Structure 1
Amino acid sequence: MKDKTLQVLVVDDDFRVAGIHASIVDQAPGFSVLATARTMAEAAVHIANSTPDLLLVDVYLPDGDGIELVRTHNIDALVLSAADDAHTVRRALQAGALGYLLKPFPQKRLVERLDSYARYRHVMSGSPGLSQEKIDQGLAILHGSQTTSANSRSATEQLLLDALQGQEISAAEAAEIAGVSRATAQRRLAAMANQGVVEVRLKYGQSGRPEHLYSRPEL
């Protein structure tokens, strides 16, 4: 089953900045902009009418403190602010923000955070009964670190290995299951095939290039 599109509410009093952030979100795979809001009051209306999956929130808003918006709503949030003092950063994290981006930042940085968040959501979804390994994996993805599993694989590689468990599939299918881009899946699977971590078989059709199918070797 394909993961749902994650809805994002962008909260920033500068409409130009909000528009830039909204454009980045709309271009990110698996995301769409629910709305943009310039005040706490506008944000509260959007949250009440249609709960977003993620908030992108500035700290300084005309009618209040964006960190309090994060604190008072049970919604995942990233704080995007020019406030560079340690007290504000700590307040944001204590309020429940999953991350803090200091303005101005390059577009690539927000894209990376959105990608990490999407993969984190993928790992932390599904049936109840998460293992400690899955929890550690999700947190490692969210914070851009590597898992501490015995095989020292990156979080992305472990997601792909999990996708291959008990089946032989293409890179595109593995990418959808793992919640990563097709290009990333192809690159990581090819590297692991060269290392002997996964097996690859060529499937020839009636015409065109053969399809690469990946699987985990039987122990």
Structure 2
Amino acid sequence: MTSNSTPPESRDPRRGTRSARDMRVLVVDDDFRVASIHADIVSGVSGFGVQATVGTCAEARAAMAAQSPDLVLADVYLPDGDGIELVRSSGADAFVLSAAVESATVRRALTAGVHAYLVKPFTRQSLVDRLERFSRYRKLMTTPHPLKQEEIDRALSVMHGTSQPVTAAGSTTEDLVLDALGTEERSAAEVAEVAGVSRATAQRRLSALAGRGVVTVRLRYGSSGRPEHLYARSSGAGW
């Protein structure tokens, strides 16, 4: 890869389009074309925005000093240093996106605390999937109360994509969904966010619970579009 000396401000292809509510992502790759592709993927995922794209460790540290990113996407080999060491020393949440496949390099990245390691070239959907998982992970881990073990397990299973969330003994996905429903009326999307599962999984489990009479369903009609299904615990239903 070749270094690009263009200032970070002019190298962010979506600069100025990020919502204040979006998570800030710093893209670190010395190949400008690759950095632009990664930035474009980030910008296309709801809830994320590109803080800057940079090509060196020095530029990355300057961007971090100006504003702490919520997530760093870093290559391993950079013109003036090592992307894994950059991530480790920054303490930021990070993914490593690299062509490096040596087991020692991957282990070193995992030891540095990265949440994902994607080997270039990878598909757009591979990064989208990790970003969506990271969004759900952050929501589960951002809470004012002390975390319970099952909440930590749930967040880790969401981030790392286990097929069945790790929960307390005897707990199932339906338990998670019903717990997420609580005593309120919620949509499948809201339940999915609280439970840390996909919307499709929440929808399936809620439908099964409704079929057994454990929860009730009603339609909420908006000003346009299809009506939304709202779920609530059935009165007197045991669990």
**TM-score after normalising by structure 2:** 0.78
Partners of 1:12 and 1:37 within 8 A in 2? yes
Q: CA deviation at 1:188?
A: 3.3
Please give the per-residue CA displacement for 1:102-135, whole angstroms capped at 9, x wherever unaligned.
1111111101110111111011111131000000
Partner residue in 1 for 2:16: none
Please give the per-residue CA displacement for 1:72-126, whole angstroms capped at 9, x wherever unaligned.
1111010010001001111111122122111111111101110111111011111
The amino acid of 1:11's aligned partner reads V
Partner residue in 1 for 2:217: 201
The amino acid of 1:214's aligned partner reads Y
| Unmatched segments (≥5 aa) in structure 2 | 1-19
* SS of equivalent residue, structure 1 residue 195: helix
Q: Pick closer, same or farther for the CA change 1:37–1:162 going to 2, 3 Å.
A: farther
Is residue 31 of structure 1 aligned with residue 51 of structure 2? no
> Counterparts of 2:203 and 2:222 in 1: how far apart (Å)?
24
Number of equivalenced pairs: 210
| Unmatched segments (≥5 aa) in structure 1 | none
Partner residue in 2 for 1:61: 78
Partner residue in 1 for 2:61: 44
Partners of 2:188 and 2:203 within 8 A in 1? no
> What is the aligned counterpart of 1:110 among 111, 127, 131?
127
The amino acid of 2:233's aligned partner reads R
Q: Pick closer, same or farther for the CA change 1:86–1:212 going to 2, 3 Å.
A: same
The amino acid of 2:172's aligned partner reads S
* SS of equivalent residue, structure 2 residue 113: coil
> Counterparts of 2:171 and 2:92 in 1: how far apart (Å)?
34
Partner residue in 2 for 1:148: 166
> Counterparts of 2:92 and 2:220 in 1: how far apart (Å)?
47
> Counterparts of 1:117 and 1:161 in 2: how far apart (Å)?
23
**TM-score after normalising by structure 1:** 0.85
> Counterparts of 2:228 and 2:115 in 1: how far apart (Å)?
39
Measured on the aligned residues, the alpha-carbon RMSD in Å equals 2.6
Q: CA deviation at 1:201?
A: 2.2
Q: What does 1:12-23 correspond to in 2, within 5 Å?
A: 12-23=29-40
Q: Pick closer, same or farther for the CA change 1:56–1:191 going to 2, 3 Å.
A: same
> Counterparts of 2:84 and 2:121 in 1: how far apart (Å)?
18
> Counterparts of 1:124 and 1:112 in 2: how far apart (Å)?
18
> Counterparts of 1:6 and 1:207 in 2: how far apart (Å)?
30
